[in-house]
A and B are shown apart, each in its own frame.
Chain A
Amino acid sequence: MSPPAARGSEAARGSEAARGSAPGASDPLARWHDGDLSEVVAQASIIVCTGAGGVGKTTMAASLALGAAARGRKTVVLTIDPARRLAQSLGLDAMSEEARAVPGATGLDAMMLDMRRTFDGLIDRHAPDPERAERIKANRFYQQLASSLAGTQEYMAMEKLYELHEHGRYDCIVIDTPPTRSALDFLDAPRRLTDFLEGRFLRMFLAPGMRAGKQVGRAVGWGSGLFMRAASRITGAGVLEDLGDFFQSFEGMYEGFKERAGEVYRLLASQGSAFVVVASPEPPALREARYFLHRLEQDGMPTAGLVINRLTPPPDPALADLTPEAARAAAGRLTTGDAEDRAVAALLELHADRWELAARERRDVAAALQGTTPGRLVEVPRLRPEVHDLEALGEVGARLHGDDPPDARA
């Protein structure tokens, strides 16, 4: 990229911030722009929205789902923890664990992830008999595990996704992922859980003589004895026995779990899937997005694009000549005038601030994208203070996949 033409000689904060955002000057994001996500909503059978917390993942998921449904595809959006008002407009309440039709949106269902029920379903499916399933579900460690083990929520989301996919009831399944702080948790979830449950290390000392124990040498046997002693001293009596029981009841189920996890992984990596990374233009969220993009690439996951949500739009061409410096200088002269002058001064200050904000955001986004392959880059400006009804989702959709809002104004 060639540096934009210098404007003015003062190295004022404003002139530096203005670089790259002036219409006509080179846009630092231009090289990543490549259309919108209309192809994704028209074709993908699975869309996974991912990104840091608070960036608007659920909003994007709901908007993409609306877009798919608008193309006549039977669609479901599966959300983890929607904001209350968004949930309401999707026709969800705290109790909705089944898919429900979204009022006012033909062909679109919405549902919320119920972790415990999904996990129970998994146990029921893989347990050799109902008795064993009951024994597991009654164990206090299972009860805690179902809600607290890191990665469980991610895994259950993927499990539910797979279940919906297998059912074949939907042409398109859109899911928003939990706001985990690292992509690792999410992509590793199936493997982590099965590794943990298989727990060679744990089983070998909780139930000595198990198959897994044979592969480890004397050193480990010695270590595990010490570990056991330390562990019981720390946890107190009874805890380890319960834990041993828990792992023993899982015996024989690991293969089924692993197989399933493998299938989920393959499904996510297949060409019918599309990952959409969502970020806000703030550096922490951008860092997460960058990490996600790298991770998806490493794992060979199909990345469809990066959405930058709530971006401040660059100034309109009609205002291109009114640089922040010029606006501030004029505002300075007007602040001592009459009420009208002071009002105009405020307008000019606001313009200068927003220009600089837009420039900063674009530079931050460009910096975060260096060396990544985000696929399509889609900008969604801050359209209104809050997005929580279908109309607003439609407006977001217009940016994401080119659809007009439901009651589009010409």
Chain B
Amino acid sequence: MTLDTLLSHRLLVVTGKGGVGKSTTAAALALASARGGRRTALVEVEGRQAFASLFDTPPWDFEEREVRPGLFGVSVDAEDSLQEYLELFYGAKRLSRFVVGSTAVEFATTAAPGIKDVLLIGKVKEMERRREPDGRFTYDLIVLDAPPTGRVVAFLRAPEATLELVTMGPIRQQARSVVDMVTDHERTCAVPVTVLEDLPVTETLEGAAALRALGVALGPVVVNRVLPERVDAEARAALVEGLSPQAVADRAQRAGAALEPDGARLLLAQAEADRARLALQAELRERLHEHLDVPLLELPERYGTRFGPQELDTLARAIEERVA
């Protein structure tokens, strides 16, 4: 797996522990893909409406809408998927309005467990296989904002589980073709997102192992909010060897900053804490490299900027440069 082949898959499954920036990363990957001239779909399956504010659009729903040139956004839910499924395969328009209430979905969810997930990922598969009248695929790439690491394996495994429970019938065929899609390394690739902290890294390693055990190809790991290394070796040596608060204040004042030794002492303490975090960061990066033979795609901490459409553009461009 190299970075430059990432966007030539058909489906990217973006996952990660809560709070690491999974949805943002999925959006940036999709945007980078669309900007590279690929017709791209960005799919949300948990109804969290994470993308509407990122792209500054009205709430997303089951209809695929172009949110940027060549980028189509959709929020898929089990109820709509079931309705579409019934209509598509059974011409069941007449009963769907009655049947597809919450009870029916509750039924579907439990009648054959994992069906909700099967419906959701079944919809993704439908989009992945969909073709235009001229025979081309409708979408060159689908980016799925998948459930978090703790649940993604159950999510992707749902079709397998269904195969174990349902021994015949169209649901079985449907489940089979979904299993084929997610385990085809040419078509599907999982992209874990993490930050360089102990828990998320541990969860990423566990998740990566579980995804591989499931037969899913593992793509690059996106490492979010990486703290910058601010000093060169010489300057670091100066800091470590004990630049005095007085010296810091003097130099800062000469450069025009209002800094007294008391304040300088706080800055030095802050820098030491920052170095500790950088050291931990380096250790965790090493741990990822040690256990995973995939590249890391690092994205910087963004400090003061509030994340909005503009920052999304910047992030997408950063990804474009790496994976073009």
B98 contacts which of A223, A231, A285, A388 (Cβ < 8 Å)? A223
Q: Is A30 an interface residue (CB 8 A)?
A: no
A402 CB to nearest chain B CB (Å):
24
Are A318 and B260 in contact, with the CB atoms below 8 A?
A: yes
A307-342, CB < 8 A from B: 316, 318-319, 321-322, 324, 326-327, 329-331, 333-334, 337, 339-342
Is there an interface contact between A53 and B167, defined as CB atoms closer than 8 Å?
no
Chain B's interface: helix, strand, loop or mixed, by majority? helix
- Bound: A226/B167 CA distance, A: 22
Contacts of B167 in A (CB 8 A): 236, 238
A54 close to chain B: CB less than 8 A? yes
A346-B235 contact in complex given A284-B19, A330-B255, A334-B255, C-beta closer than 8 Å: yes
Q: Is the CB of A329 within 8 A of B256?
A: yes
Q: Which residues of A contact B257 (CB under 8 A)?
A: 322, 326-327, 329-330, 348
Cα–Cα, bound, A282→B304 (Å): 12
Interface residues of A in 202-243 (CB under 8 A from B): 202, 223, 226-227, 230-231, 233-240, 243
CB-CB contacts below 8 Å: B85-132 with A: 86, 90, 92, 94-95, 98-99, 103-104, 106-107, 109-114, 116
| A140 contacts B by Cβ under 8 Å | yes
Contacts of A269 in B (CB 8 A): none
Q: Does B234 contact A (CB under 8 A)?
A: yes
Instruction: Give A82 to B243 CA distance when docked, in angstroms.
Output: 42
Whether A196 and B307, one on each chain, are in contact in the complex, defined by CB atoms closer than 8 angstroms, is no
How far apart are the CA atoms of A280 and B17 in the complex, in Å?
14
Produce 1/0 per residue, B186-211, CB < 8 A to A: 00000000000111101000000000
Are B107 and A202 neighbours in the complex by a CB distance under 8 Å? yes
Which of A141-149, A155-163, A295-303 is the contact stretch?
A141-149
Q: Bound complex: CA of A329 vs CA of B165, how far in Å?
A: 66
**Closest residue on chain B to residue A143 by CB atoms:** B113
Q: B23 in the interface, Cβ–Cβ < 8 Å?
A: yes
Whether the Cβ atoms of B165 and A339 lie closer than 8 Å is no
Chain B positions within 8 Å of A145 at CB level? 110, 113
Nearest chain A residue, comparing its CB with the CB of B304:
A356
**Which one of A69-77, A164-172, A253-261, A357-365 contacts B?**
A357-365
Taking CB atoms, residues of chain B closer than 8 Å to A52 are 18-19
Judged by a CB distance under 8 angstroms, whether B172 is at the interface is yes
Least Cβ–Cβ distance between A169 and chain B, in angstroms: 31
A233 and B46 contacting across the interface, CB-CB below 8 Å? no
Q: Contacts A230-B86, A343-B238 known; A85 to B19 CB distance under 8 Å?
A: no
| Chain A 337-381 interface mask (CB, 8 Å, partner B; 1/0) | 101111111111111011111011001100000000000000000
Question: B232 interface residue, CB < 8 Å from A?
Answer: yes
The docked-state distance in angstroms from the alpha carbon of A282 to that of B111 is: 38
Is A179 interfacial (CB 8 A cutoff)?
A: yes
Residues of chain A from 41 to 57 with CB closer than 8 A to chain B in the complex: 52-55
Partner of A53, one of B17, B172, B238, B268: B17
Measured CA separation A347–B272 after assembly (Å): 10
A14 adjacent to B234 (CB under 8 Å) = no
The yes or no answer to B6 lying at the interface (CB within 8 A) is no
Binary B-proximity of A75-118 (CB < 8 A = 1, otherwise 0):
00000010111000000000000000000000000000000000
Contact between B111 and A240, CB atoms less than 8 A apart = yes
Residues of A within 8 A of B268 (CB): 347
Q: Which residue of A lies closest to B50 (CB)?
A: A284
A235 touches B112 (CB 8 A): yes
Closest to A234 in B: B171
Please judge, given known A-B contacts A321-B258, A333-B255, whether A231 and B111 are in contact too, CB under 8 Å.
Answer: yes
Which residue of A236, A349, A356 is within 8 Å of B230 (Cβ)?
Answer: A349
Quick check: is B271 within 8 A (CB to CB) of the other chain?
A: yes
Docked complex: B265-284 residues within 8 A CB-CB of A: 266-268, 270-271, 274, 276-277, 280
B169 touches which one: A179, A202, A236, A324 (CB < 8 A)? A236
Contact indicator A13/B18 (Cβ below 8 Å): no
Please determine whether A150 and B109 come into contact, CB atoms closer than 8 angstroms: yes
A54: contacting residue among B17, B172, B252, B267, CB under 8 A: B17
User: What chain A residues lie within 8 Å of B270 (beta carbons)?
Assistant: 347, 350-351, 354
Please tell me if A386 contacts chain B, counting CB pairs below 8 Å: yes
Q: How far is the CA of A110 from the CA of B86 in the complex (A)?
A: 48
**Cβ–Cβ contact A318 & B306, under 8 A:** no
In the complex, what distance in Å separates the CA atom of A28 from the CA atom of B215?
A: 50
Taking A327-B257, A343-B239 as contacts, is the C-beta distance between A202 and B103 under 8 angstroms?
yes
Task: With both chains docked as a complex, state the minimum distance between the C-beta of B19 and any C-beta of chain A, in angstroms.
Answer: 3
Shortest beta-carbon distance, B160 to chain A, in Å? 14
From B17, B154, B238, B307, give the contact of A340 (CB < 8 A).
Answer: B238
In the complex the two chains form, is B271's CB within 8 Å of A233's CB? no
Our pick among A231, A340, A388 for the contact of B243 (Cβ within 8 Å) is A340
Contact B18 A54 (CB under 8 A): yes
Point out the residue from B238, B252, B276 that lies within 8 Å of A348, measured CB to CB: B252
Query: Using an 8 Å CB-CB cutoff, how does the interface string of B134-169 with A read, 1 for contact, 0 for none?
Result: 000000000000001010001000000000011111
B200 to A, closest residue via Cβ: A54
Q: Report B201 CB to chain A, min CB distance, Å.
A: 11
Known interface pairs A13-B304, A230-B86. Does A319 touch B110 (Cβ–Cβ under 8 Å)? no
CA distance A239 to B165 in the complex (A): 8
Residues of B within 8 A of A355 (CB): 304
B95 with A223: CB separation less than 8 A:
yes
A342 touching B19 in the complex, CB below 8 Å, given contacts A316-B266, A347-B267:
no
CB distance from A373 to the nearest CB of B (A): 24
Q: What 10 additional pairs, Cβ within 8 angstroms, besides A55-B19, A236-B172?
A: A53-B18, A54-B18, A54-B20, A141-B113, A201-B107, A280-B19, A321-B258, A326-B257, A343-B239, A386-B197
A-B contact pairs, 10 of them (CB 8 A): A13-B305, A144-B110, A179-B150, A226-B95, A227-B104, A236-B167, A236-B168, A284-B23, A329-B256, A388-B198
Q: Which residues of B are in contact with A by a Cβ distance under 8 Å? A: 17-20, 23, 46-48, 50, 53, 86, 90, 92, 94-95, 98-99, 103-104, 106-107, 109-114, 116, 148, 150, 154, 165-172, 197-200, 202, 230-232, 234-239, 243, 247-248, 251-252, 255-260, 262-264, 266-268, 270-271, 274, 276-277, 280, 303-307
